[in-house]
Amino acid sequence: MTDPRLELQLEGGLAVLTIRRPEKLNALDAEMVDALIPLCRRIERSDAAVVILTGEGDRSFCAGGDIAAWSGNSPLDFARHWVRDGHAAFDALARLRQPLIAVLNGHCLGGGLELAACADLRIAETHVKIGQPEPALGVIPGWSGTQRAVRRFGVQMVRRMALFGEVFGAEEAERLGLVDRVVAKGEGMAAAREVAQIVLSRSPRATELTKMLINAAEGEEVGRVLESLASGIAAASDDLTEGLAAFREKRKPRFPGQGT
């Protein structure tokens, strides 16, 4: 499944994912949400060692979920599909094996902040505003805005934005830990590419493993990380070679160190 409003460019070790819907402030509709998971799978299986995520234009990084896409849903469809599908898509982004850098080149509100929370590093341009206005519309921050956002930004930051309606400018957001770096308007992508080059100069495998362990420590994907790491160790052992050989030869395996 593809969507032309989500553009993926693979540049050797770098993947750049751009939301191209500036006329709607880069808001996501159901088709775009559905397209995110196969895009993440493509990134996972590529040679990319680092990923940059951004939005087209300078007005909005991402305005979150397109109100027109969900406001007509029944309560059941809203909960069962819109919210759960968004979670699945954002989980896929947050759990990419590659470090993910978000370039906040425009306002980052609601679901846009939940999208930015998926990143390992956030670079904001000076004109950006950050907040969680969902309760003002009668809904909750439903794409992990009360879960992953709390883990990434701290519970009090989420309280201030979601419960009390605070909106932060880029420099204050940096001071509070909502973003990691602030650059001048129009310089976000260049800054992200500089950071990406640092990642590319390091061991891809060690970086991937380190990200997995950090995610596990944060509670992002403990089960998958443990089983993935253990499976890798098992697959590298002589036991797997012997086990597969025994299966093919229809005999009892003789594992190293098993004794007689």
Is residue 114 part of the annotated active site? The answer reads: yes
Q: DSSP strand E in 49-152: where?
A: 50-55, 60-62, 100-104, 107-109, 121-125, 129-131
Asked if residues 92 and 37 have their Cβ atoms less than 8 Å apart, the reply is yes
As given in the structure block, the two tokens for residue 221 are 């994907």
Cα-Cα-Cα-Cα dihedral of 126, 14, 17, 216, to 10°? Answer: -90
Active-site residue (options: 114, 171, 174, 227): 114
Asked if residues 119 and 148 have their Cβ atoms less than 8 Å apart, the reply is no
- Phi and psi at residue 99, to the nearest 5°: -60, 140
28 strand-pairing partners: 65
Q: What type of residue sits at position 194? A: E
Active-site residue (options: 134, 174, 218, 249): 134
Q: Which are the catalytic amino acids? A: 114, 134
